[in-house]
Structure formats: structure tokens, C-alpha cells
Structure 1
Amino acid sequence: MSSPQQTTRRAFRRTDDFTPGTSKLKQVQEALPLPLLPTSVLVKVHSVALNYRDANIANGGNPWPVLPNGILCNDAAGEVIALGDKVKTLAIGDKVGPIIDTEYISGHEVGRSWLAADEDGVMADYIVFDEAVLCKLPLYLDWLSAATIPCAGVTAWSALKGMSIGQTVLIQGKHRSFVVKRSIFANQNEGTGGVSMFALKLARAAGLRVILTSSNDKKLRQMREKFANPPILSVNYATNPDWDEEVLNLTNGVGVDIVVENGGSESLVKSLKCTRRGGVVSQVGYLAKQNPMELAELIPTIIDRRIILRGINAGSKHDTEDFCAALSACQMPLDDLIDKVFPFEQAEEALQYVWEGKQIGKIVLDLQCDDRG
């Protein structure tokens, strides 16, 4: 066993104060879980990527139970610096990140455990995980880009499973509004968050035609300019409440082959209606205000259009490994997915930036700033 010299860590734990305007994070100095268990690995974290899920948990909007005052975030890239004496698959110096559901290795497990929810996440300068839940990240990527892979990247990868060259994918953005401690906080992700941007990039690399929805014409214009060749199609769902009919028109009435659906009950039925018969809707999120009354047509629409509706929560360890292998094979750059980088000390500001939906792509914390002084 390699003996770790590091015995403590800095981490950001949630305050669990959901009052608007109050701090959502508290920096702590705490002992690492040492000595390492036989199959445990100590990782020095170089970068942490934030997701909308993190901002939602910190503001009390997560629909599933969470660990009180837990460490936030599930996307990280780090360097192995110490190993338990039974570790076989990793070595000192490996670039790694944990999967987000640490019970979901092969895809056949019955249990679940989500980082930053019912167990601590990765917003810390050192983390300890069993080797079974760590994946090697592509060596060609820098630390900032590599941190975007485990959650947002693998979610997009899983959502597009089964895609074929020449098919059409609808990548959806929706207005989100949540009731938090009797006050309503509303903001917009606009279809330009991390999963949407990853899905767009992967879809284009795979030869799919892309239709992007948003309520913000400026962001749609920016995306059309950024991805001009071949051009993407776009639909503003705010100015066109019947956006599903517009999507059908763009596909000559046939419908799209795959939908990356992140709205939930507010948009799901419309997403089904503009999917071709026998197509796939991948439910990756719940950004809109959830109202079961809007699902009245769900069952007849699924049956009539013979649609496969599948829930996506990132993927298994095998999915992560497959995605990393695909990235390494094609050497796809990911730096263009990063909207803004914050130093680790500004984690609170970064979290608020995501909560307000200001980003186009990923927000990443750089822990290497501390190393460089």
C-alpha cells in the first residue's frame, strides 16, 4: 500500500439553508477517511464541473432524499496519489473520475447511490473512493475538460444510444421554476446547459441533424453561429407554444428520431407528439415546473406513436468507459463546451451562476489555481 502524506482536505459542504439570498455552501477543513481500505484510492482533485442538479440540490429542489450538509457535485477529474494494498486496476498518477451512481457498475444492479445526494460528492481538493467506481479519463484532455465527462458527458452519451447517421435529434431546453420554502425562484437553462451542449456536439459528430429549442432568441442565434456548418435548426418554444407542430413541420411531418428531453411533465407529451412512430425519448431531467395534470395524454400518445420512453441518469461504469474510449479514439476536443472557469475558492459564485442559468455549456472549478498560487 502506498502511504498517503495528505491527511486532511478542504471541501465545500451544503449549508441546507434554502432561504433565497443566503449562502448555500460552507468551506470546511476535515480529516480524510484514513487509513485507506484495501481497495480504496486517494485522488487529488484538479477540477470539478458543476451541473444544474448541484444548484437544485443546494437550493432545496431535489425530488430525492439527500445527505444533510453533504459535499456537493459529482463531476470531477483528479490524479491518483495513494492506493490500498489490494487495488489492481489503477496506478499512481492515473487520471480518474468517479461514476455518479456508485452502485451502477454493469447496469444490472438493483441498488443506487448518487454522489452529492445520499453520499458525499466531489467538491473537495482530495477524495477517497473504491477503485470499482473510478474510471480512467482520456489522457489527451486537460483537467478542466476531463471533469465534464462523468455526469454531463455520460448522460448525453446514454441519451443518444442507438443513434444512426442521418437521423434527427431534438435537443430541448425548457423554462424551469421551483417552489423553494414558499418562495418561487425561476430561471432558465435555455437548452444551452452542459448535457444539451454535449448532446449537440456528439450528435453532430455522429452525423445527426440537430433541432435545438430554447426560449431565448439570442442564445439560439449564438448556437446557430457557433455550429454553422452543417447548420442546426432551432425553435423558440416561448414565442411558439405549439413548438411540437413546428418540429413536425421541420421533419416533413415524420417527427424526430430521438429527443433529449429535460423539461418533464410540462414538455414531455409535446416531445412525444413530435417524435416519429417507433422513436426514442430520453428523459434526462426535470427543469420545468412539474405538474401531473399535463400528463393526461401520456399513455395514449406513447401507445399511438409506439414510442420508447427511457429514463437517463448518466450511466453505468461500463457506459463511462465506453464513452471515454470513444473520445480517446476520435480525440474530440471538449474545451469549447466550457463557458466559464472559477477558482475553487469561488465555488459559491459558480453555483449561483449555474442557478441563474447564465452559462452556455459547462461551469468548472479549477483547483490547480491553488497549486500555482
Structure 2
Amino acid sequence: MSSAKVTQRRAFRRTDDHTPGTPKLKFVEETLPLPLAPTAVLIKVHAVALNYRDANIANGGNPWPVIPNGILCNDAAGEVIAIGDKVKSLSIGNRVSPVTDTGFISGREGKRSWLAADEDGVMADHIVFDEECLSKIPDYLNWVDASIVPCAGVTAWSALKGMEIGQTVLIQGTGGVSVFAMKLARAAGLRIILTSSSDAKLEQMKEKYSNPPILTVNYSQTPDWDEEVLKLTGGVGVDIVVENGGAGTLMKSLRCTRRGGIVSQVGYLSKQVEPNALRELVPTLIDRRINLRGINAGSKFDMEDLHAALAAVETPLNDLIDRTFSFEEAEEAVEYVWQGKQIGKIVLRL
């Protein structure tokens, strides 16, 4: 076994105190799980990216069970510094990221295991994973940019599967998945309609992506935003929706999707609604022949495909970063995401 002399790690574990205004993270120093298992890899972490999911878990809003006081976050980029004696696919010095769902490698598995939920996440300066749960990072990406790919990037990639040049995509919000979906959609030749409750955010995005221009809708000022989206598409509807809202927005998303189109459910940001609000769900699905699909990031193979696509033309990702924090500012970074201040991705730099 190739080994490093590192035996301890610094990490942030959840306090599981969901009272508003109380700390959501606790700094710990703990022993690494050594010696390494035969196919395990020890990674020195250089960057950790946050998602809304992390802030939601820290504040007790996750709809699925999580382990008590777990380590937060599922997005990281780091360097292999030690390997087990049976590791075949990786070497010391390789740059890697773990997959978000360590039980979903090929895409054909029937199980799942989410980082920061079913198992500890990656908000630490050293992490250990089995080699099959790791994907090599493209050489051109720096640590910060590479760290945003595993969850936000792969989710956007999965949500846009089936897209074709010239189609129209409706993207909800300006968080990490949304801005990554914009990046991929523009590269693929799609027309974009972006929604947000903030005119300021929409103006920033229109200025940032002015050629070709994007279309925008403020859903706060336009409660019947689905009708506005239909108008923007000549009454036909969009081809794909990157659906971030959940129960509170799903019906409107279905109504402004063309017949035979796709709605990719990637999030659950909106408040829960009364069951009656979804009474037209099945009739609308059938009438509009819509493919409604749940997206939970993607498999390791999906991440490798995305890495290959990004590397082919060395797609820059730095424009998707809203702000970087130091590792020690993890609590502040989580609160920043929880308050929805970001346009794009928030990253901890180690």
C-alpha cells in the first residue's frame, strides 16, 4: 500500500440544532479510517462546493433521513495522496472528485447512498473513498472550478438529456444547478427562458449572457408565469424544464411544456402545497404526454461523460462561481446559501 503520514483530519459536522440563529456546524478534529482498505483512496481536499441541499440539511429541512451529526456537503475536488494495495484505476497525485451517490455507479444499480445524508459528506481536509466512487478531474480545471461538477454539474447534465439543437429550455432560478444548466444549454444551442423572483438577478444574468440574449420571467411579479412562458414560445411550450420548485411549481411547469416534452425534477425549493393543488397532475401528464423524470445528480458514468464533454473544448466554469470562502468560514458560507444570496456556486477553498 502506498501511504501518507496523515492520520487526522479537520472537518465540520452538523450540530443538528435547527433553532434559527444557532450554529449549524461544529468544527472537529478526528482520526482517519486507517489503514486504508485494499481498494480505498485517501484524498487531500482542495475545494468543497456547497449546494442548497447542504443548507437545507443543516437547517433540518431535508425530506429524507440523514445520519446524526454527519459531515456536510457532497461536492469536492482533491488530490490522491495514498492508495490501498489493490487500487488499479488511480495513482498518487491523481486529481479526483467523489460521485454524489456512491451507490449509483453504472446507472443500473437499484440502490443509493447519498453523501452528507446516508453517509458522511466531504466538508473536511481529507476524505477516504473506494476507487470506484471517484472520477478523475479534467486537467484544465482548477480545484475551485472542478469542485462544482459532481452535484450541480451532473444534475444539470442529467436534467438536459434528450435536448436537441434549437429547442427551448425553461430553467428555474439562479442557483448552482440552474447556472450550470444554462452553461450546458447555451453550448448545445438551446434557447433559454430563465425565471427568478429577483429582477436584479435576472438583469445580472441578461447582462452576463447577452449574446445570444436569454428570455426572463419574474415569477413573483407574474404569478401566472406559465402563461407568460407559453406566450414566449408562441403557445407551443418549452421542450425541457429544469424544475427546481417542486410541488409548488410543478403544475405550472407541466402546463407550459409542449406536448411530448420533458420535465426534469431536480429540486424542491417551494413550500408544500395542499393535495388538491396537484389533483390535475395525472390528467395533465396524460393530456400533454409529458415525460416527468426525477433527477438525483447522476451516476459515475454520467460524471465521466460530463467531464469528457467539458474537457473536449475546455469549457470555462469560473463564471459560474459566485463567491469563495475559506474553509474556516464554512458556517458563514452555509448561511449565505440558506439565505439565497448567491447567483451560481459557493465554494470553500482549502
Q: Which TM-score band applies after superposition, normalised by the shorter structure?
A: over 0.9
Matched, 1:279 2:261: yes
| 1:355 paired residue number | 338
Q: Distance in 2 between matches of 1:346 and 1:259?
A: 34
Write the deviation string for residues 187-238 of structure 1: whole angstroms up to 9, x where unpaired: xxxx110000000111001000000011111111111111000000001111
| 2:104 paired residue number | 104
Partner SS, residue 171 of structure 1:
strand
Q: Distance in 1 between matches of 2:277 and 2:188?
A: 33
Partner SS, residue 101 of structure 2:
coil
Residues 209-288 of structure 1 correspond to what in structure 2 (within 5 A)?
A: 209-288=191-270
| 1:184 paired residue number | none
Partner SS, residue 161 of structure 1:
coil
Write the deviation string for residues 171-199 of structure 1: whole angstroms up to 9, x where unpaired: 01xxxxxxxxxxxxxxxxxx110000000
Q: What TM-score do you get using the length of structure 1 for normalisation?
A: 0.93
Of 290, 295, 298, 2:281 maps to 298
| 1:181 paired residue number | none
Residues 325-364 of structure 1 correspond to what in structure 2 (within 5 A)?
A: 325-364=308-347
Percentage of identical aligned residues = 75
Q: Distance in 2 between matches of 1:75 and 1:27?
A: 18
Matched, 1:289 2:271: yes
Q: Does the CA contact (< 8 Å) of 2:155 and 2:266 recur in 1?
A: yes
Q: Does the CA contact (< 8 Å) of 2:75 and 2:97 recur in 1?
A: yes
Partner SS, residue 334 of structure 2:
helix
Q: Distance in 1 between matches of 2:25 and 2:319?
A: 28
Q: Distance in 2 between matches of 1:303 and 1:6?
A: 57
Q: Distance in 2 between matches of 1:234 and 1:160?
A: 19
Q: Distance in 1 between matches of 2:272 and 2:139?
A: 40
| 1:204 paired residue number | 186
Specify every segment of 5 or more residues in structure 1 that has no aligned partner in the other structure, as ranges: 173-190, 368-373
| 1:22 paired residue number | 22
Q: Distance in 2 between matches of 1:323 and 1:52?
A: 21
Partner SS, residue 127 of structure 1:
strand
Q: Distance in 2 between matches of 1:294 and 1:141?
A: 44
Partner SS, residue 328 of structure 1:
helix
One-letter code aligned to 1:205? A
One-letter code aligned to 1:310? R
One-letter code aligned to 1:312? I
Matched, 1:323 2:313: no
Q: Does the CA contact (< 8 Å) of 2:336 and 2:342 recur in 1?
A: yes
Once the two structures are TM-superposed, the CA of residue 4 in structure 1 deviates from its matched residue by 2.1
Partner SS, residue 271 of structure 1:
helix
| 2:59 paired residue number | 59
| 1:310 paired residue number | 293
Once the two structures are TM-superposed, the CA of residue 139 in structure 1 deviates from its matched residue by 1.0
Q: Does the CA contact (< 8 Å) of 2:2 and 2:82 recur in 1?
A: yes
Write the deviation string for residues 106-135 of structure 1: whole angstroms up to 9, x where unpaired: 111111100000100000000000001000
Moved beyond 3 Å, runs of 4+: none
Partner SS, residue 301 of structure 1:
helix
Once the two structures are TM-superposed, the CA of residue 346 in structure 1 deviates from its matched residue by 0.4
Please say which of residues 285-294 and 16-25 is displaced more in the overlay: 285-294
Matched, 1:48 2:48: yes
Partner SS, residue 332 of structure 1:
coil
One-letter code aligned to 1:27? F
Write the deviation string for residues 6-63 of structure 1: whole angstroms up to 9, x where unpaired: 0000000000000000000000000000000000000000000000000000000000
Q: What TM-score do you get using the length of structure 2 for normalisation?
A: 0.99
Of 345, 355, 365, 2:348 maps to 365
Once the two structures are TM-superposed, the CA of residue 74 in structure 1 deviates from its matched residue by 0.1
Q: Distance in 2 between matches of 1:294 and 1:124?
A: 42
One-letter code aligned to 1:297? E
Partner SS, residue 221 of structure 1:
helix
Write the deviation string for residues 265-285 of structure 1: whole angstroms up to 9, x where unpaired: 111010000000000000000
Q: Does the CA contact (< 8 Å) of 2:3 and 2:81 recur in 1?
A: no
Q: Distance in 2 between matches of 1:357 and 1:293?
A: 29
Once the two structures are TM-superposed, the CA of residue 299 in structure 1 deviates from its matched residue by 0.4
Q: Distance in 2 between matches of 1:200 and 1:294?
A: 29
| 1:370 paired residue number | none
Once the two structures are TM-superposed, the CA of residue 339 in structure 1 deviates from its matched residue by 0.5
How many corresponding residue pairs? 349
